[in-house]
Amino acid sequence: MSATTARVAIVTGGSRGIGRQVVSRLAADGYAVVVNYASNDAEGRSAAEEVIAKGGQALAIRADVSDEVAVAALFDAAEEAFGGVDVVVNAAGVMTPGTPLVDLDLNVLDRVMRVNMRGAFVVAQQAARRLRRGGALITFSTSVTKLAHPGYSAYNASKSAVEGMTLILARELRGRDITVNTVAPGPTATDLFLGANTEEAIARLAAQPPLERLGQPADIAEVVAFLAGPARWVNGQVLLVNGGII
């Protein structure tokens, strides 16, 4: 692999759903992409091989985003393979909807917060230390922080924390020429979303935006690509990407 690639991106949660679409989209823009995944080796390798088959450069690295040692090793691998890191997209996350706060198992709360909040913090910390000038960090929140759907208390809490952290980091990186933004999708047709909701709920949510459909991973990936590259004057923002649902 070349150590002279012009632009290099790390995408956490890059083996499935929105993350995988982001990998494909950034690779199409000429990025060398490091595909991070949590556990499924086959899916991680497949996402990287798909990029390579199209003539791009990619590397699959397994790492738990909440583990600071593993995330540091992930960044080490990216730097060793490609010479540096320019864009970090933290798309890794878990969703456990449907249970009211009063009945929520605290073990579930701990898992959601560990992956979504601590994971975002750990990845952002490494990104802040390692991103090259002209770089971008893109974290993921959710439009549920505004919609406040019942049954999403843990998920909403974890993603609200991500938003607050991201906006502060954008200001802490003054003088580095690094943008820091959050993308907050609405209902999006991923395995994570479709598997966590009933058919009735999916139909209801799809009907809510004025565009009258669910978002697609490609819709979200287009916004990520915009923030990763040309959108140098968008900084310290939460971008709601939900078809006008709110």
The pLDDT tens digits for 37-52 are 999 999 999 999 999 9
Instruction: Give the rounded distance of the alpha carbon of 43 from its chain centre.
Output: 17
Listed residue (205, 192, 197) closest to 18, CA to CA: 192
Which tokens hold the place of 21?
Answer: 């679409």
Listed residue (18, 11, 9, 10) closest to 241, CA to CA: 18
Examine the residue annotation and report whether 155 is marked as an active-site residue of this protein: yes
What span, in angstroms and rounded, lies between the C-alpha atoms of 207 and 101?
26
* CB distance 26 to 226 below 8 Å: no
Kindly indicate the confidence band of residue 5, based on its pLDDT and cuts at 50, 70 and 90. low
Radius of gyration of the chain (CA): 17
Give the chain's end-to-end CA distance (angstroms, integer).
Answer: 44
- What confidence tens digit (pLDDT) does each residue in 87-142 have? 999 999 998 888 999 999 999 999 999 999 999 999 999 999 999 999 999 999 99
- CA distances 120 to 55, 136, 234, Å, are 30, 14, 20
Domain boundaries, the chain: 8-241
Q: Which long-range contacts (CB under 8 A, 24 or more apart) does 63-69 make?
A: 63/12, 63/36, 63/38, 64/38, 64/119, 65/12, 65/13, 65/36, 65/38, 65/90, 65/92, 65/115, 65/119, 65/120, 65/122, 65/123, 66/114, 66/115, 66/118, 66/119, 66/122, 67/122, 68/122, 68/125
What span, in angstroms and rounded, lies between the C-alpha atoms of 35 and 11?
5
The region of weakest confidence among 4-13, 15-24, 143-152, 201-210 is 4-13
Assign residue 177 a region (left: φ > 0; alpha: ψ between -120 and 50; beta: otherwise).
left
Q: What is the mean pLDDT of residues 194-213?
A: 91
Domain spanning 8-241, CATH class? alpha beta
What span, in angstroms and rounded, lies between the C-alpha atoms of 240 and 246?
8
Taking the alpha carbons of 73, 77, 80, 84 in that order, is the dihedral positive or negative? negative
Looking at residue 97, what is its pLDDT?
Answer: 81
What's the pTM?
A: 0.95
Q: Is a pLDDT exceeding 60 seen at residue 86?
A: yes
HSE-up (13 A, CA, CB side) for residue 115:
19
Q: Among the options 31, 37, 152, 155, which is catalytic?
A: 155
Residues 6+ apart with CB under 8 A from 221: 18, 21, 22, 24, 25
Looking at residue 3, what is its pLDDT?
Answer: 45
**β-strands 87-90, 8-12 pairing:** parallel
